[in-house]
Every structure is written in structure tokens, then in C-alpha cells.
């Protein structure tokens, strides 16, 4: 489901309160198909990675040179009152599904919530596209997606459902190149939006291509064919990844576009393979020499030692400020802050929970500064579970209200490495939305 991006880049800043106006239309017809982090442990920052083109690739200096001159609102934590309020004891079960991007975090939240309340929140990591489809078909009580509800579905179900962010995450490029594995060289690759696009377009086919070598003068890259790994299922991670390429590298937008699924040029021109879920891509790259793939940060973090033995994770250049960033908490927070500032500068305030959020995702990606590939994770809830025909509607609605109230308050302080908390103003927007969930 391709969509051509009309607006390539955009504006800036801190999120304010809830807005009532609908947003300007998203690229083409909007989000395709059915279209993160606690303070990072010191282990996140690798020892030296060298210098490229005069840009320091050390994580600390990459995020420290003018990218965060004021505290980032994305690092805001819930108020003391919210953070110390425990949920009541509950009973019952609800089932949600969708984004594999958020699965590590959703699983952690669900387990902790069960320990506190006795209520079960089951989550199925089936991909954002499938999650949205199953939610709209009433087979799930809620869904999670790395991009908002696609415009056509939003219009079809307009006024009946709510969507709001619950956490922020980043997408990283992992690779398997034994000759230059981090364990051997002490360095990770530097990559740009252009090089990544050309790899997935099948134009750059070997690791020793001069365009990659130029970015990594301290590494001797092998002349081995690149295996470009991508998602085989309808994926919000794919939507967020291809949206980034569409914004950052116009030729990608003109030829491929973005969506839950796209037609990958590398499938016809070069070596490639598909895998299901973030889990599948992460494992495929680990098991396939000379491969590259895109996954949510937590999937690299959980396998960090294994990746360092065969390859690593890439520093990415932000085309707007010209710096290379490691996907550490500080650089992702800086990117989220810059992207939100740009949105608010252009549109004033965020949309209401029953409005279209596609333009928010467009402004959020490829931000003016900081790590460039990041996304909100959105949750979809019905406004009235009884009117939508759910059995035990009152019990399910009450459980969903309590769970996401906890997620948006205490849950923001209990994040898996690789996710970052929402600005408090965004969390408040979700809390207000929960008041509309009935019966």
C-alpha cells in the first residue's frame, strides 16, 4: 500500500494541550494500508566509533553539540500524584494486538499490570496492519500501531474510535558483516538515508560500494552481495521506516513511497529476503551473513552481544543537522523533541483523540535534529464498546480505562530499554481520551 509523500520535510516543538482541529492531509491519501526510551544504561553507548567527514560519531558528542540546549519535553515524567496512584484490584480479560514494534514494552506493561491488579491484558504481536484490521473487525478489544489509523479507515469509522500515543520508539539498522563486526573493529557502520534507500532500491548491491566505503574510511568492507531484509507482513515498522526514507530521500518517495507494505525494488534487482515481525527480521539478520535489516531498538538491544560478534547497529546521519547519531536515549529524545517542536510550530497544537493523526507522524519523522528514525506507538480504542456489540462491554471498557490510565502514568516510568516516555502533555491527551471510553 504505497503512498507518495507530498510534504518532504517540515516545522518544530514541545507539545501543547489537546487540539480540536483536524490536521492537514497526509502524503498522497495518507497513511498506507491499515498505517521509545527509559534512561539508557551505560552499555548503550559503545566505546569509540571514529569520525566521518568531520562529524564526531561518538554518541556523547553527537547528541551534545547543540541538539539539546534545553531539557527535552520528551523526558518529562508523570506527576508525583499520578506516579504514586496504584490501580485498583480488577477482574476480567481483554485482548489486543498489532505492532511488533511495541511488543517488548506491551508485554512488560501487561505482566506488571497483572501483578498489581489481577486483570489480564493479552497482547498479540501480529503486526500493525493486522492489528488495525482485527480491531475494526471487532476481533480485538484494542490495537497498537506505529502509525495512525490509515486515512480511508479513519473516514470510514470516524467518530466511533479513539487513537492516542502511549510511548515513543526508534528504528535501527542492524547488519551482519563478519569482517567488520564490532567485536573485531570496535566500530559500528555509518549510514545515510541515501545509502539505505539505494540498498533497498537494489542500486547499491555490495558492501564495498564506494558510497558506503566513503562513509566508513576506517573500515575495510568486503565485496560481498548485500542481502536486504524487510518485513513480509503488513507492518507499522515498515510504514515508519519507508516514511522516513520518503521524507529524507525524495527519489525513494517518487519511486517507492511508504506504507504498511511496499514493493521493494531490491526484491527484483538484488539479494533480499522477507521476515515476519520485528522478531523475524532481527533473527534473519543474525543468521544471514552480509545482510541488513530494520527493527525497533529493543530487538537489537536484546541481542546486542550476538550482533556485536557478527556485525552491529548503524549510526545514522540526520540530513537536517548533518550529524551522525547513535540510537541512544539522549539522541532519540532530542529527535522526538525536535519533531514535536516542528509540528507545533506549523500546526499549533496536537489533534484531538478522535481526529486524524497522520500529519503528526509525518512531522515527527526525520526531525530537525537528533536520531532520525522514530515513531509514536498509537493505541486504538472504541468509544462505546456496548454500541459496537462487545460481550461484557462494561467490564472490558472499565479494564481498558484502568490499564491505559496506568500505562500513561506509572507505566511511563517502567520502560524497556529502547523506548522513551511521552511528554506529559501528550500523556494527558490520552488520559482525557480515556474518559470517553464507555460504557
Give me the pLDDT at residue 18, please. Answer: 33
The answer to whether 402 and 117 have CB atoms below 8 angstroms apart is yes
Burial of 383 (0-12, 13-18, 19+ CB in 10 A): middle
Buried (b) or exposed (e) across 51-88, using 16+ Cβ within 10 A? ebeebbbbbeebbeeebbeeebbbbbebeeebeeeebe
Query: How many Cβ atoms from other residues are within 10 Å of residue 14's Cβ?
Result: 17
pLDDT of residue 238: 96
Averages of pLDDT over runs of 10 residues in the chain (439 residues) are 38 31 33 31 36 32 29 39 64 94 97 95 96 97 96 96 98 98 98 98 97 96 97 94 97 95 89 90 97 97 96 98 96 95 94 95 95 97 98 96 97 95 95 97
CB 195 within 8 A of CB 319: no
pLDDT at 271: 77
CB atoms under 10 Å from CB of 92, counted, come to: 16
* Best CA proximity match to 160, nearest among 369, 371, 354: 354
375 exposure class (CB count in 10 Å sphere: 0-12, 13-18, 19+): buried
β-bridge partners, 51: 56
DSSP labels for 329-363?
HHHHHHHHHHHHHHHHHHHSSBPPTTS--HHHHHH
The residue to which cell 480505562 is assigned: 401
Distance CA 126, CA 119 (A): 22
HSE (side-chain half, CA atoms, 13 Å) at 99? 34
pLDDT score, position 267: 87
Which of 330-362 are b and which e, b meaning 16 or more Cβ less than 10 Å from the residue's Cβ? bbbbbbbbbbbbbbbebbebbbbbbbbbbbbbb
**What does the pLDDT read at residue 51?**
31
CB-CB contact of 154 with 351 (8 Å): no
DSSP percent split of the chain into helix, strand, coil, nearest 5: 40, 20, 45
Cell of 227: 542481502
- pLDDT for the residue numbered 85: 64
CA distance 83 to 76: 12
Residue 283 C-alpha cell reads as: 533473527
Amino acid at each position: 500500500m504505497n503512498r507518495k509523500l507530498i510534504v518532504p520535510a517540515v516545522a518544530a516543538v514541545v507539545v501543547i494541550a489537546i487540539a480540536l482541529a483536524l490536521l492537514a492531509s497526509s502524503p498522497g491519501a495518507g497513511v498506507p494500508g491499515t498505517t521509545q526510551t527509559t534512561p539508557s544504561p551505560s552499555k548503550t553507548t559503545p566505546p569509540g566509533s571514529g569520525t566521518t567527514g568531520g562529524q564526531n560519531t561518538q554518541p556523547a558528542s553527537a547528541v551534545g553539540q547543540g541538539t539539546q540546549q534545553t531539557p527535552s519535553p520528551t523526558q518529562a515524567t508523570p506527576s508525583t500524584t499520578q506516579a504514586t496512584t496504584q490501580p485498583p484490584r480488577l477482574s476480567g480479560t481483554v485482548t489486543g494486538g498489532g505492532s511488533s514494534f511495541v511488543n517488548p514494552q506491551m508485554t512488560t506493561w501487561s505482566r506488571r499490570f497483572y501483578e498489581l491488579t489481577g486483570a489480564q491484558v493479552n497482547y498479540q504481536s501480529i503486526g500493525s496492519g493486522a492489528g488495525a484490521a482485527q480491531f475494526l473487525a471487532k476481533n480485538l478489544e484494542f490495537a497498537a500501531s506505529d502509525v495512525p489509523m490509515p486515512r480511508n479507515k479513519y473516514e470510514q469509522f470516524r467518530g466511533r474510535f479513539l487513537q492516542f500515543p502511549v510511548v515513543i520508539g526508534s528504528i535501527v539498522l542492524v547488519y551482519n558483516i563478519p569482517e567488520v563486526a564490532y567485536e573485531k573493529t570496535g566500530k559500528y557502520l555509518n549510514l545515510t538515508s541515501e545509502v539505505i534507500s539505494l540498498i533497498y532500491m537494489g542500486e547499491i548491491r555490495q558492501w564495498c560500494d564506494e558510497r558506503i566505503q566513503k562513509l566508513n574510511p576506517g573500515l575495510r568492507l568486503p565485496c560481498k552481495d548485500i542481502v536486504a531484509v524487510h518485513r513480509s507482513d503488513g507492518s507499522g515498522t515498515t510504514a515508519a521506516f519507508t516514511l522516513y526514507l520518503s521524507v529524507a530521500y525524495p527519489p525513494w518517495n517518487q519511486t517507492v513511497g511508504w506504507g504498511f507494505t511496499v514493493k521493494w525494488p531490491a526484491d527484483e534487482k538484488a539479494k533480499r529476503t522477507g521476515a515476519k515481525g520485528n522478531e523475524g527480521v532481527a533473527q534473519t539478520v543474525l543468521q544471514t551473513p552480509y545482510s541488513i535489516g530494520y527493527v525497533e531498538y529493543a530487538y537489537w538491544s536484546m541481542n546486542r552481544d550476538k550482533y556485536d560478534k557478527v556485525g552491529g547497529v548503524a549510526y545514522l546521519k540526520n540530513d537536517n543537522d548533518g550529524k551522525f547519531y547513535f540510537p541512544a536515549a539522549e539522541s532519540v529524545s532530542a529527535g522526538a523533541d525536535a519533531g514535536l517542536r516542528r509540528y507545533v510550530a506549523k500546526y499549533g497544537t496536537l489533534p484531538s483523540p478522535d481526529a486524524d493523526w497522520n500529519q503528526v507522524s509525518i512531522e515527527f519523522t526525520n526531525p530537525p535534529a537528533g536520531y532520525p528514525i522514530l515513531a509514536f506507538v498509537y493505541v486504538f480504542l472504541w468509544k462505546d464498546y456496548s454500541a459496537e456489540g462487545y460481550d461484557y462491554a462494561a467490564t472490558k471498557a472499565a479494564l481498558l480505562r484502568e490499564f491505559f490510565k496506568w500505562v500513561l502514568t506509572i507505566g511511563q516510568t517502567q520502560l524497556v530499554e529502547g523506548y522513551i516516555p511521552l511528554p506529559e502533555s501528550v500523556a494527558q491527551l490520552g488520559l482525557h481520551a480515556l474518559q470517553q471510553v464507555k460504557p
